[in-house]
Structure 1
Amino acid sequence: MTPGSNLPLNTVRVTVDVAAPVRLDVSALLLSADGKVRSDADFIFFNQPTGPGVSYRSGGGAAPDSVTVDTGALPPGIERIVVTASPDAAGQTFRGIEPTATVRDAVGGTVIATFTPPQLGTETALVVVEVYQRGGAWKVRAVGQGYANGLAGIATDFGVSVEEEPAPAAAAAPPAPPAPPAQPASYPASPWLGGATQPPPAAPPAPPAPVPAAAPPAGGKINLDKGRVSLQKNQTVSLVKGGRPLLTQVKMGLGWEPAFRGGNIDLDASVIAYGPQRNHIDSCYFGKLSILGGAIKHSGDNLTGEGAGDDEVIVVDLGRLPADATGLVFTVNSFSGQKFTDVAKAYCRLIDASSGEELVRFDLTSAEPQTGVMMAKLIRQFSGEWEMTAMGEFVKSRTVRGMVKPAAQAL
């Protein structure tokens, strides 16, 4: 599965295993129509492993933790069960340790789907998948929504009241470690509190300088509220402004120049559209200037790369894209065989088509002796908004046809 894709469930009881190279804390929340828990009883985790229609099983570190959902036993009014995960080690992010969720029939064990959220970075907690009801039928959806503020961030979003632990006071000499604090009745050793069974660490001599909110590390997710966003490789921006998803017409402008003392550079910009199973739907390029009923259009071929401004432009009407188009990968190829080491100042930028405002920009700062590059991707999220991720991944391919398979694998 890819982020935002869904599948029908043909069984009443499903189990979701969540595995990673490190030990995880896996939890589940039962949500009503307003997207919130009704009470603490709707929070299922290792110290509260059973609830109405949902149960948790620990793998003990030797096997994946799992959550089993019995849709026939869920209380009336429960419409979604979200399965979450966080690294067990305090402060560890998901960078390089992407988890894989395996959804299977809880009775027969048949695998229904698998999902690995792609290219995670500073996220310390994830909503991995959700089991949800739509039109009287139950489905499973790949989510992969990350939080940089841990499971507490997820808890807050879904209405769980999390009482933060006070920071330990600074002292000239560190005191003896205190005994573990007594747990509240509703949150015994809750992972939302960062593992409250562990004694708090001694206060450091001086706190580290805070990271400015305006400059998140690569991999962090931001939105358009503060204006134009300049992305680094593998960084993601959510196309949301003022709390509303951007679902209007946008332009992806791609540009390049010949390297110093180089000749003309004939590169071809394209976009490849994919469905929920990474299935190739269609490609828009200089030989096919309109696809998906006109929702995606190409400006035509630029044969030299000379001149200021965008060399080729692809217009995407996000609001008109068909529902099964969940992923778009923007590529650039050198049909003549010139390598990207002969190219300078390659970039892509997302523009609001109605206002001409530049929303997002990604400048390619490195080059490899290859003939193709995946510049950026747009992924439709489960909640309906789109996210843009800077890629900058080089491929040996002179045509868009040769990019279809590697781009699908990069979704």
Structure 2
Amino acid sequence: MTAMTPGSNLPLNAVRVTVDVAAPVRLDVSALLLAADGKVRSDADFIFFNQPSGPGVGYRSGGGAAPDSITIDTGALPPGIERIVVTASPDAAGQTFQGIEPTATVRNADAGSVIATFTPPQLGTETALVVVEVYQRGGAWKVRAVGQGYANGLAGIATDFGVSVEEEPAPAAAPVAPPAPPAPAAPPAPPVSYPASPWLGGATTPAPAAPPAPPAPVPAAAPAGAGGKINLDKGRVSLQKNQTVSLVKGGRPLLSQVKMGLGWEPAFGGRAIDLDASVIAYGPQRNHIDHCWFGKLSILGGAVKHSGDNLTGEGAGDDEVIVVDLGRLPADTTGLVFTVNSFSGQKFTDVAKAYCRLIDGASGEELVRFDLTGAEPQTGVMMAKLIKQFSGEWEMTAMGQFVKSRTVRGMVKAAAEAL
């Protein structure tokens, strides 16, 4: 086994090799197949969890218990493909490689023996990384340690490799009449259209006839702290879906007891609805540790406790409460996902006013609130997640992701993928 340094290369002694990238946090690992001009040819050349197989290259999820990996069969690559780059990015939105030391391990895919390892040095604000590349030179295949980071995420990598990445546009307004005053030309349709990916923020589609609507502004109730990150310095924070707040106040992380209150009401004119609130605990590799629900009211040595089952959803206030003592959580508990399920099979289209709110356990002060404004005909929803950062602070992200599952046990895999 060889420990590689940036720019070093080794000949491959195997036709099939596997590259996995491990880190203290969950990473999204992907691969790009490049032609002689250093560009991808089409969307089939982008291999990741939503498109796990391509010509000569395959992706395998570690499921949280192991790193994601890319397997390359150099004997099965299409003619004209001369290089495969393996990339990685922290799965948590906006997270950088600061304090994270990812390590790529290159193995003989058939024998399992380790060929080389590589840990990129001195990473900081990068949010995506070209870790290693497998390339052809003089008819032979080699592996090179790269370690090139991008502060602008996958978009930076995409630009380098000739891929156009855009956010999914908002619905176009009514067609503009031909005599309308000239407007800036819409960008040309991108040459590559990807399936949905957490890196890309949605599928890439051709540019609409009219400019997309601007993104919704951050609510005034969501104050930003240093560096633009939302924190608790100015009091209660109201989150929109996918927004994140750092549980820091006055420059100090909140590590005391908090309560996650979850509430709902039957849809207008509807009958009583029995929903079950739960929380699922995960380790640093998205490994499932335990889950707390009305059938198991205390986990993690009492650091997480459940208030018990509410059978109707009627009445004011929180329907179910989950108490979390952040300071008492085991060190290997780095992620919590709060879920609500309908065991009886009623859909969330039968629910009104679903919300979750984070409360200071000592003062009773409401710190963060997320109101679920949309519903889907599903039986489960991931409401929010708490993720522990390397600095020791916790961050809460509003989710509102619906899942077909009547029990918390059926949410474990989906919640791990959403961390």
Distance in 2, matches of 1:241 and 1:24, equals: 28
- Give how far 1:36 is off: 37
CA displacement, residues 35-64 of structure 1 (integer Å, 9 cap, x when unaligned):
999999999999999999999999999999
Distance in 2, matches of 1:38 and 1:379, equals: 37
For the residue of structure 2 that corresponds to 1:222, the secondary structure is coil
CA displacement, residues 59-91 of structure 1 (integer Å, 9 cap, x when unaligned):
999999999999999999999999999999999
Q: Verify the 8 A CA contact 1:26 1:85 in the aligned structure 2.
A: yes
Q: Verify the 8 A CA contact 1:372 1:398 in the aligned structure 2.
A: yes
CA displacement, residues 239-264 of structure 1 (integer Å, 9 cap, x when unaligned):
11111111000000000001110000
Change (3 A) 1:176 1:236: closer
Distance in 1, matches of 2:50 and 2:413, equals: 44
Q: Verify the 8 A CA contact 1:284 1:291 in the aligned structure 2.
A: yes
CA displacement, residues 13-47 of structure 1 (integer Å, 9 cap, x when unaligned):
99999999999999999999999999999999999
- Give how far 1:382 is off: 1.2
CA displacement, residues 363-404 of structure 1 (integer Å, 9 cap, x when unaligned):
111100000000011111111111111111100010111011
State the number of aligned residues.
409
**Equivalent of 1:11 in 11, 14, 30:** 14
- Give how far 1:276 is off: 1.6
Q: Verify the 8 A CA contact 1:90 1:194 in the aligned structure 2.
A: no
- Give how far 1:122 is off: 13
Q: Verify the 8 A CA contact 1:81 1:132 in the aligned structure 2.
A: yes
Structure 1 stretch 57-66 or stretch 218-227: which is displaced more? 57-66
CA displacement, residues 317-358 of structure 1 (integer Å, 9 cap, x when unaligned):
000001111111100000000000000010000000000111
Distance in 2, matches of 1:403 and 1:60, equals: 14
**Equivalent of 2:125 in 116, 122, 125:** 122
Change (3 A) 1:149 1:105: same
Q: Verify the 8 A CA contact 2:260 2:323 in the aligned structure 1.
A: yes
Change (3 A) 1:135 1:372: farther
Partner of 2:144: 141
* TM-score of the superposed pair, with normalisation by structure 2: 0.52
Structure 1 stretch 118-127 or stretch 310-319: which is displaced more? 118-127
Q: Verify the 8 A CA contact 1:180 1:196 in the aligned structure 2.
A: no
For the residue of structure 1 that corresponds to 2:227, the secondary structure is coil
CA displacement, residues 109-147 of structure 1 (integer Å, 9 cap, x when unaligned):
988999999999999889999999999999999999999
For the residue of structure 2 that corresponds to 1:192, the secondary structure is coil
Change (3 A) 1:269 1:32: farther
1:104 aligns with 2:110: no
Distance in 2, matches of 1:338 and 1:188, equals: 31
Structure 1 stretch 114-123 or stretch 57-66: which is displaced more? 57-66
Change (3 A) 1:289 1:197: closer
Partner of 2:206: 199
For the residue of structure 2 that corresponds to 1:151, the secondary structure is helix
Partner of 2:177: none
Map 1:8-157; keep pairs closer than 5 Å. none
Change (3 A) 1:85 1:344: same
For the residue of structure 2 that corresponds to 1:191, the secondary structure is coil
Partner of 1:183: 190
Q: Verify the 8 A CA contact 1:256 1:346 in the aligned structure 2.
A: yes
Distance in 1, matches of 2:333 and 2:254, equals: 16
Distance in 2, matches of 1:245 and 1:59, equals: 31
CA displacement, residues 124-181 of structure 1 (integer Å, 9 cap, x when unaligned):
889999999999999999999999999999999999999999999999x999999999
Structure 1 stretch 190-199 or stretch 353-362: which is displaced more? 190-199
For the residue of structure 2 that corresponds to 1:219, the secondary structure is helix
- Please tell me the root mean square deviation across aligned C-alpha atoms, in Å: 14.0
Distance in 1, matches of 2:317 and 2:303, equals: 23
Partner of 2:364: 356
For the residue of structure 2 that corresponds to 1:73, the secondary structure is coil
Distance in 2, matches of 1:319 and 1:62, equals: 25
Structure 2 gap ranges (5+): 175-179
Distance in 2, matches of 1:137 and 1:232, equals: 52
Change (3 A) 1:184 1:359: same
**Equivalent of 2:286 in 250, 274, 278:** 278
Change (3 A) 1:39 1:105: same
Change (3 A) 1:99 1:312: same
Distance in 1, matches of 2:234 and 2:160, equals: 22
CA displacement, residues 183-220 of structure 1 (integer Å, 9 cap, x when unaligned):
9999999999999999999999999999998768x997
- Give how far 1:221 is off: 3.8
Structure 1 stretch 331-340 or stretch 38-47: which is displaced more? 38-47
Structure 1 stretch 160-169 or stretch 22-31: which is displaced more? 160-169
Change (3 A) 1:49 1:343: closer
Distance in 1, matches of 2:267 and 2:186, equals: 65
Distance in 1, matches of 2:392 and 2:80, equals: 23
Q: Verify the 8 A CA contact 1:7 1:139 in the aligned structure 2.
A: yes
Change (3 A) 1:163 1:279: closer
- Give how far 1:225 is off: 1.1
Distance in 2, matches of 1:239 and 1:306, equals: 30
* TM-score of the superposed pair, with normalisation by structure 1: 0.53
- Give how far 1:273 is off: 0.7
Structure 1 gap ranges (5+): none
Structure 1 stretch 252-261 or stretch 186-195: which is displaced more? 186-195
- Give the fraction of aligned pairs with identical amino acids, expressed as a percent: 92
Structure 1 runs (4+) deviating above 6 angstroms are: 1-171, 173-214
Q: Verify the 8 A CA contact 2:388 2:394 in the aligned structure 1.
A: yes
